[in-house]
Amino acid sequence: MVSHPPAVLILPTGHMKMITYKLVFITRPGKDDAWTETEYSCKDLKLYNGVIYALGCYGKVCVLKGLDGSSLPTMQSVISLDNYEEGSVLLIEMSSDLLKVVQISSYVGRFKTQCFKVFKLDLGESKWVEVEYLGNIVLFVCLSYSFSLMASNFPGCKGNYIYFFSHDDKGIFNLEDGTVETIYQSNAHCGYQLH
């Protein structure tokens, strides 16, 4: 018998600056075709150690439970609102850790990344602990999907760096010294170059 695990998505609703993100799910993909919308508003989802974590407004992180279809799912808070950080926040899995990555930008005609803050989830203490060194790990922060890799497995990548790509804001952030190298699209060559 083939198992059909539930599928969970975040869908944008609204328009322009009033966009919110609603959590929707389907209990048996491939068998059912009806998506169920929940009342929960989330910015990001991450499957970590077999559990779905949802990032809500103001940095609140919840565990998503009850996706078996017998009832509507529930969200159980694991981190309070006291850990809120200004900036664009997302979740990334790094080996055995769940990270909260905060991208802090300024706006002068366009968004430009100033720096990043990285935090590791301490489930025992129910708090975020700031991480200042990633070792051989490199983070990729993108609009559609963010992830971590071992830098030594990919020539040219540098450990303890964050590569970010969003619209016209592209660059490499050095977590050790807090500097940003801008990546710009060259008119003369295909691809991107460091500036």
pTM tops 0.95: no
CA 193/CA 84 separation, integer angstroms: 34
Q: What percent of the chain has pLDDT over 70?
A: 74
The three-class DSSP label of residue 172 is strand
Residue 194 pLDDT: 47
In which band, very low, low, confident or very high, does the pLDDT at 133 lie, cut at 50, 70 and 90? very high
Q: Contact, 159 vs 182, CB < 8 A?
A: no
- Beta-bridge mates of residue 153: none
Cα angle value 71/77/78 (rounded, 5°): 130
CA 37/CA 10 separation, integer angstroms: 10
